[in-house]
Structure 1
Amino acid sequence: MWFPFWRSRDRFSLDELRYLTDQIMKVQIVNDVNKDFVIEALRSIAELITYGDQHDTAFFEFFMEKQVMGEFVRILKISRTSIVSLQLLQTMSIMIQNLKSEHSIYYMFSNEHINYFITYSFDFRNEELLSFYISFLRAISGKLNKNTISVLVKTRNVRRFGARPVVDLEITAVSFHHHYLCSIKLSLSSSLLIILILYLPSPDDIVDFPLYVEAIRFAFHEEGMIRTAVRALTLNVYHVGDDCVNKYIANAPQTDYFLNLLKFFREHCIGLNELVSQASGSLGFESTSSILSAVDEIEDNLYYFSDVISAGIPDIGRLITDNILKLLVFPLLLPSLSIGVVNETKISAVTSLYLLCCILRIVKIKDLATSVAAAFFCPLETFMPSAEAKQNGYMSSCGPALDSQKDDNSNLSFECDSERLQASIPNLSSSSQTQSGKDVLWHDSNGSHLDLR
């Protein structure tokens, strides 16, 4: 078995691909004895398929005829060494990244072989294996469009019908109004069958999206490169613009990802405040470096929020905007600017001002800016339940929270409900006053006011 593998042969030929495939199909178990041969064969197959995609379609036709993707799955099942699993992930990543034909990509993603690799229980204690796995997921996300994403999601309503014999190879995928009509010829023999698969998605049809679900499991990994790769993957998914996928993402339990992300961001903000407080006495190189690193992390998070919102999924945009206000701005940042803050405050005034500036500068959402502006002129209890009003050590002298409020002597008006805050400030000059001799900005609102530093 070993000698013929190294015999002289044109490296980039169909005969070479045929030989390697035959050898892989003969493997019954992968262990320390033959692992090097299997690894080299997998690597060579990836090179040949990439070469064939650019020079000769016969290479990929042979790849489909022999159902090599199924052989990859079989090798994974019989492998007893993690290095072969690593090579399989690398092989498929190389192929997916370099294939230019959408028909080829569509075939790679079909038949549930890719989903099998995505959901396989790898030993992620091996950091190198985890790195290759995340790269594999990201490579898949880079090839997503409204056609290819349809074969990676799991739906309830799938109908198969209309079989007839054909004699040539063809793969087609047509998308119209979120209905996918896909035809795949499964082999190259004279008894080929063309199977028409008609997807009729509805808002409730998608029951699982393994690529997305498995990726966000690592959204808060301690390794920054992995977090970055996961975020890039999610943005690729959001920017596909498939309504059914967007509805799946915008419903529980997938929305927990965004809530956890915002809580993760809030902890980073509190951490920045602690670093600033510790460095206030003596600012050295180490403390400066730590602060700059924390600032970079915070800004990266905000740019990610902005990118997610710009993907145009309304429910997700509202979820992020509302929870930035609910989890960070109202309970932590704005109370820190009040002269009534007590010692247990979690965020200092300086850090709060910096974070508010960053949020408004990077997350350029009109509703978010309007809500923050309105909060400067209205009691905080108006924007959140009274039970949350002292989360940052501040309790206004105002009464209970109001559902809606309008000052007859000003043009400021706003409405607040459990779902969304809307504020209108047509003329701030007529609704606010600056008292001379006092560093206080206030707005008379039924006897309540918010004093700012």
Structure 2
Amino acid sequence: MFGPFLTLLGLDDPSKTQPRPTPPTAATKTAEEQSQESDLKRKQIQQLSAYLNSPKVRGGGGARKRLVESVRQVSEVVIWSDRRNPELLSVCIEMGLHQHMLTLLQSRGKQQRWSPSDNAVTVQVLQTFSIILDSVSDTKFLYALLSNNFVNQLIAAPVDMDNEEVVSYYVAFLKALSLKLTADTIHFFCNERMDDFPLYTTAISLFDHPDSMVRVAVRAITLNVFRINDPQALDFVLHSPKCASFWEQIVCALKDSYDDAFRILVDMLPSRQHGSSAVATSQIDRARMSAAQGWAAIDQ
């Protein structure tokens, strides 16, 4: 019944069935095709730069959907350039895509209140920078991204810290930055003029955040800082007044944990009517008093 129809389609004989062609990859494309694709990406970079740098967008306006999509495309074109045509990475820097995204954050921070649209753009900008930091391997591009105090301006950009989603993306961004800390890059993160280490001081300000995931990320960031073992950074961390409150919080947290451990031990003991338990409890009480005196000396 379907014989003639199958014959027309070339499906009556399995030998006539042609496999579906696979899309060409960078390795299979001709030099001309690769050049055309690079030209398209170059135009895309220029278009993204023109839109993100338009007066309306720089002033805090712009349609939310288009803004979010444009920022998302920045990560795509940067990663494509890193893997297919690294020369376009310099075009991204020259066109100021990173600067335009920083301006997006700064312009929205000038608003009297954070709107859902502002937070959506903020989340996308933070996510885009995190993706770029995690995915791009070109050292020159990363150095250009971190230099000229740009990274510290980005860390200091205002975000809605009362919004849980924004905070989670912001901390993830800080953690991605901390993974780029090396002996060769740490000078990008130190603001000598302001005598500040913004990545570290911003992270420790969230040390006691109610969200456990944020606290875990903060600990990872601080450990990444100590991992570098840079004398200048360690001197700031250990002796700067800006870090003093962090160490006080550490001491208080240890003190609370110490007290909690004593309470658990006391609760686990049998009734005090038995002589042995009474002696043990008395010893624990004396130890607690001694520890309390020690903590008081530290607090002073």
Residue in 2 that maps onto 1:212: 200
| Cα distance, 1:208 vs structure 2 | 0.8
Q: Secondary structure at the match of 2:161?
A: coil
Query: Equivalents in 2 of 1:279, 1:38: separation in Å?
Result: 59
Scaled by the length of structure 2, the TM-score of the pair is 0.70
Contact 2:74 2:97 in 1 (8 A): no
Instruction: Note the 1:357-376 alignment, pairs <5 A.
Output: none
Which structure has more helix as a fraction of its residues? Answer: 2
Compared with structure 1, are the counterparts of its residues 279 and 67 closer, same or farther at alpha carbon in structure 2 (3 Å cutoff)? same
Alpha-carbon displacement from aligned partner over 1:167-187 (angstroms, at most 9, x marks no partner): xxxxxxxxxxxxxxxxxxxxx
| Cα distance, 1:268 vs structure 2 | 2.1
Query: Equivalents in 2 of 1:343, 1:209: separation in Å?
Result: 43
- Aligned equivalent of 1:235, options 215, 223, 228: 223
| Cα distance, 1:225 vs structure 2 | 1.2
Residue in 2 that maps onto 1:89: 126
| Cα distance, 1:344 vs structure 2 | 5.2
Residue in 2 that maps onto 1:4: none
Query: Equivalents in 2 of 1:49, 1:340: separation in Å?
Result: 65
Q: Secondary structure at the match of 1:221?
A: coil
**Structure 1: gaps of 5 or more residues:** 1-8, 157-205, 282-337, 348-387, 394-417, 419-453
Compared with structure 1, are the counterparts of its residues 141 and 89 closer, same or farther at alpha carbon in structure 2 (3 Å cutoff)? same
Query: Equivalents in 1 of 2:158, 2:286: separation in Å?
Result: 44
Instruction: Note the 1:319-398 alignment, pairs <5 A.
Output: 341=282, 389=290, 391=292
Root-mean-square deviation (CA, aligned residues, Å) is 3.1
Matched, 1:40 2:69: yes
Residue in 1 that maps onto 2:80: 51
What amino acid does structure 2 have at the position aligned with 1:249? Answer: V
What amino acid does structure 2 have at the position aligned with 1:248? Answer: F
Compared with structure 1, are the counterparts of its residues 252 and 341 closer, same or farther at alpha carbon in structure 2 (3 Å cutoff)? farther
Compared with structure 1, are the counterparts of its residues 207 and 77 closer, same or farther at alpha carbon in structure 2 (3 Å cutoff)? closer
What amino acid does structure 2 have at the position aligned with 1:217? Answer: S
Query: Equivalents in 2 of 1:131, 1:340: separation in Å?
Result: 44
Q: Secondary structure at the match of 2:220?
A: helix
Residue in 2 that maps onto 1:304: none
Alpha-carbon displacement from aligned partner over 1:240-269 (angstroms, at most 9, x marks no partner): 122111111121422442342132022123
Name the count of aligned residue pairs: 241
| Cα distance, 1:146 vs structure 2 | 1.7
Query: Equivalents in 2 of 1:93, 1:136: separation in Å?
Result: 5
Q: Secondary structure at the match of 2:195?
A: strand
**Structure 2: gaps of 5 or more residues:** 1-35, 112-117, 271-278
Q: Secondary structure at the match of 2:159?
A: coil
What amino acid does structure 1 have at the position aligned with 2:79? Answer: T
Higher relative contact order (CA 8 A, sep 6+): 2
| Cα distance, 1:215 vs structure 2 | 0.5
Residue in 1 that maps onto 2:56: 28
Query: Equivalents in 2 of 1:222, 1:280: separation in Å?
Result: 32
Query: Equivalents in 2 of 1:32, 1:72: separation in Å?
Result: 13
Instruction: Note the 1:29-428 alignment, pairs <5 A.
Output: 29=57, 34-79=63-108, 81-156=118-193, 207-253=195-241, 254-275=243-264, 277-278=266-267, 341=282, 389=290, 391=292
Q: Secondary structure at the match of 1:144?
A: coil
Contact 1:137 1:233 in 2 (8 A): yes
Contact 1:344 1:392 in 2 (8 A): no
Compared with structure 1, are the counterparts of its residues 18 and 344 closer, same or farther at alpha carbon in structure 2 (3 Å cutoff)? same
Q: Secondary structure at the match of 2:56?
A: coil
Query: Equivalents in 2 of 1:390, 1:70: separation in Å?
Result: 53
Compared with structure 1, are the counterparts of its residues 100 and 343 closer, same or farther at alpha carbon in structure 2 (3 Å cutoff)? closer
What amino acid does structure 2 have at the position aligned with 1:220? Answer: D
Contact 1:270 1:346 in 2 (8 A): no
Query: Equivalents in 1 of 2:283, 2:226: separation in Å?
Result: 42
Query: Equivalents in 2 of 1:27, 1:41: separation in Å?
Result: 16
Query: Equivalents in 2 of 1:390, 1:136: separation in Å?
Result: 40
Query: Equivalents in 1 of 2:285, 2:188: separation in Å?
Result: 53
Compared with structure 1, are the counterparts of its residues 244 and 13 closer, same or farther at alpha carbon in structure 2 (3 Å cutoff)? same
Query: Equivalents in 1 of 2:291, 2:63: separation in Å?
Result: 66
Query: Equivalents in 2 of 1:269, 1:390: separation in Å?
Result: 9
Q: Secondary structure at the match of 1:28?
A: helix
Compared with structure 1, are the counterparts of its residues 41 and 264 closer, same or farther at alpha carbon in structure 2 (3 Å cutoff)? same
Alpha-carbon displacement from aligned partner over 1:287-323 (angstroms, at most 9, x marks no partner): xxxxxxxxxxxxxxxxxxxxxxxxxxxxxxxxxxxxx
| Cα distance, 1:56 vs structure 2 | 1.0
Compared with structure 1, are the counterparts of its residues 340 and 227 closer, same or farther at alpha carbon in structure 2 (3 Å cutoff)? closer
Contact 1:10 1:16 in 2 (8 A): no
Q: Which moved more, 1:209-218 or 1:223-232?
A: 223-232
What amino acid does structure 1 have at the position aligned with 2:43? Answer: D
Query: Equivalents in 1 of 2:160, 2:238: separation in Å?
Result: 30
Contact 1:345 1:392 in 2 (8 A): no
Contact 1:105 1:148 in 2 (8 A): no
Query: Equivalents in 1 of 2:291, 2:195: separation in Å?
Result: 41
Scaled by the length of structure 1, the TM-score of the pair is 0.48
Q: Percent identity?
A: 23
